[in-house]
Amino acid sequence: MTMSALGEPCVLLKLGEIVLKGKNRELFERRLVGNIRAALKDFDLKIDVRQRHGVIAIFLPAGTGVEMADQVAQRVTDVPGLVWIHRAWRVAKDPDTVVKAAIELIKDRDEVKRGATFAVRSRRRDKRFPLKSNELDRLVGGHINDVYGLPVNLKRPELTVFVEVDRDEVFVFTDGLPGQGGLPVGSSGRALVLMSGGIDSPVAAYRMMRRGLHVDFLHFSGIPFTTSESIYKAYALVRRLDRFQGRSRLWVVPFGKAQQSIRNSGQDRLAVIAQRRLMLKTAEEVAHRIRAGALITGDALGQVSSQTLQNITAQDHAVELPILRPLIGWDKTEIMAEARRIGTLEISELPDEDCCTLLAPKRAETRAKIEDLKLIEKRLDAEELAVQLADSIQEYTL
């Protein structure tokens, strides 16, 4: 059967929790469609993205090959808000055409060659179609059985053929690619990530993208007392994460001299928490300037001395903006697994000069008192210093 007889290759996208949004659903869907179009803008194709009831269809120009359709499908797997991406065939709304397409679709499948069990799952979104879903199941399944002799297993089939009847056409497809799930980026607002070169903060950024936040990134460099290695590393991490949201921005603060002032304050065991509070104050100032509504960190409870419950409380007290910690209950193994899945682990494990090593006392305080930290900040004039640091930031465009 020729491609024209089988149909036209297209991509069918299944939505996740967006379908539960009730009266606000249309807003989420519009945001998602915009994100999909933005993700596909680098393809030199006139791509048509259309909303349907519960699904989004991507139609490609006539004559587009299957390989290009596969590339489009792979690209949109990175767009939060989608749970499944199916490379489908778009065929005419005619039962005989649907049957022929389904038979052709599975012709070269390994499951067919080894006589695996199969099932047909039909969905009739257009109730004007002459066959009900169960009737279409029996029609297509019967012909597949006649042609290939495959046994039917409706409970646990090894191969499933999906048939979805829409307003203007029928989609026929088999398995698909898992999406990112979650909500469309930008549907929950904007936040600022405190981006180190470590494993945790990139994962935290990704998790909040999945909850609909568009995030910008703020990196604290030890310059002039360290090299630019950590900046390059942060830049590489942001580029890697940008595929999930697009239009990412990286801001870098030269933090070395401020760290030196903290170290010279004489409060060695409190230096790490004092530094963290100053970072948060600076991040809050930057967040106000870029209209971000929250800060995001990669803190996980008890992972290091600065992340004890009392120290986290002391850090929260430094700013008024909410601090989101999506990894708070994760252990290191879970965080590393997620970093590996999203492609940031290999970058995070590259060596660099972390600014935090400039303030690494032999024993760090695990129960910092807010009153003691305020005394340090009063001597440093931390509020004014945070403004000065925010004034000194540099933007690194992707």
Binding-site positions for ATP read 194-195, 219-220, 276, 298, 307
CA neighbor of 231 nearest in space, from 354, 339, 340:
354
- Cα–Cα dist 60/72, whole Å: 9
Strands 118-124 and 189-194: unpaired
Cβ neighbours for 283, distance < 8 A, ≥ 6 positions apart: 192, 194, 218, 295, 319
Q: CB within 8 A of 187, min separation 6: which ones?
A: 27, 28, 31, 32, 81, 212
Q: What angle do CA 266, 268, 271 make, to 5 degrees?
A: 105
Residue numbering of the annotated binding site: 194-195, 219-220, 276, 298, 307
Cβ–Cβ under 8 Å, residues 216 and 292: yes
CA nearest 245: which of 210, 269, 279?
Answer: 210
Residue 85's H or E segment, with its range, is: strand 82-91
